[in-house]
Homo-oligomer: A and B are copies of this chain.
Amino acid sequence: MPKEATKDALLAAARTEFAAYGIAGARVDRIAERAGVNKERIYGYFGSKEKLFDQVVVTALNEVVEAVAMMPGDDPAEYVGKLYDFHLAHPDLTRLLMWESLHYRDDDLQGQEQRVASWNGKATSLAAGLGAESSRETARTMLTLVGLAVWPTAMPRLSRLALGEETATEEGRAAMREHLVTFVRAALGR
């Protein structure tokens, strides 16, 4: 089998395992088994468990930064709604972001400059839409909008404490989405 197919299978299995257990709780044997590949191939292709984790996390970071577009003039409230939907649909991604936040310290992962640039592009689009100069304040607003969108999925147990089982229903999620959109509209005066 072509080596690219084996690597992809390992990456997919690693993503599932790291999303569920983080790097310390994940098991290399389980990753290999889920991929249907010998675990020596993990070391052959990626070098170490840590390097495999790095690659999975970098892929996830790049994916989330590009997940929902934000163009000049786009409605920031709708952006938050879409991002909320995206994270609901991709809980593995949300969890990987949390493991990433907890695991790394000050080191920047590969591709950080592109992610910064992509983020700044969104902040600039947001500023244009608000009729404001792109500034630190719009960067803070961008961070806040992302936080609003991700929080309910990032903290499912807190969500359940606050809202009970409705968090697991379609109506409950629609209500949360509506709440977020309304909250952002009011905050940004639109």
A144 to B182, CA, bound (A): 12
**B136 contacts A175, C-beta separation under 8 Å:** yes
Q: How many copies are assembled? A: 2
CB contact between A184 and one of B142, B143, B187, B189 (< 8 Å): that residue: B187
Known contacts A102-B98, A115-B161, A187-B187; A151/B143 CB under 8 A: yes
Indicate whether A81 reaches chain B with its CB closer than 8 angstroms: no
Contacts A102-B22, A166-B136, A175-B136 given; does A158 touch B187 at CB 8 Å: no
From known contacts A102-B99, A148-B148, infer whether A162 and B140 are also in contact, taking CB-CB under 8 Å: yes
Asked whether B143 lies within 8 Å of A159 as measured between CB atoms, the reply is: yes
A89 in contact (CB, < 8 A): no
- Asked if A132 is at the interface (CB within 8 A of a chain B CB), the reply is no
Closest CB in chain B relative to A188 CB, distance in Å = 7
A139–B116 touching, CB < 8 Å: no
Given A140-B179, A151-B151, does the pair A161, B22 have CB atoms closer than 8 Å?
Answer: no
Partner of A152, one of B104, B143, B179, B188: B143
| Cα separation A155 to B102 with both chains bound (whole Å) | 8
| Interfacial residues of chain A within 90-123, with CB under 8 A of chain B in the complex | 95, 97-102, 104, 112, 115-116, 119, 123
Most buried by B among A21, A163, A180: A163
The 8 closest A-B pairs by CB, nearest first: A147-B151, A24-B25, A187-B187, A24-B24, A143-B162, A140-B179, A186-B187, A183-B187
Further 6 A-B residue pairs, CB within 8 A, beyond A97-B155, A136-B163: A21-B24, A140-B163, A144-B180, A151-B151, A186-B187, A187-B187
Residues of A within 8 A of B (CB): 21-25, 95, 97-102, 104, 112, 115-116, 119, 123, 136-137, 139-144, 146-148, 150-152, 154-159, 161-163, 166, 175-176, 179-180, 183-184, 186-189
